[in-house]
């Protein structure tokens, strides 16, 4: 019984489970965000084709902001 407990307590895996869930949730979030930006950007270009230059610049800037925090979070999760 004590051996069982010792093994259970050493590493029950809950931490790793949390890190895994976190990475999954992070990718869900990032994908929803970048997906919304990209989806609206192509609709916007369809409505104003002559403004495609500025639209794609703004799309890239805002998508890169999401990409940035997500990569930082993934690295911090991996180190955890």
Site residues for a second copy, 16-75, by CB under 8 A, read 16-52, 54-75
Given a contact cutoff of 8 angstroms between Cβ atoms, the answer to whether 37 and 62 are in contact is yes
The least distance separating a second copy from the CB of residue 1, rounded to whole angstroms, comes to 6
Q: How far is the CB of 64 from a second copy (least distance, A)?
A: 7
Handedness of CA 29, 35, 66, 72 (dihedral sign): positive
Report in angstroms how near the CB of residue 77 gets to a second copy at its nearest.
6
How many residues at the interface with a second copy, by CB under 8 A? 79
């Amino acid at each position: 019984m004590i051996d069982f407990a010792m093994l259970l307590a050493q590493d029950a895996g809950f931490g790793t489970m949390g890190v895994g869930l976190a990475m999954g949730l992070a990718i869900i979030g990032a994908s929803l965000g970048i997906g919304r930006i990209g989806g609206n950007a192509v609709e916007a270009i369809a409505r104003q084709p002559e403004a495609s230059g500025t639209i794609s610049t703004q799309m890239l800037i805002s998508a890169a902001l999401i990409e940035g925090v997500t990569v930082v979070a993934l690295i911090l999760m991996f180190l955890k």
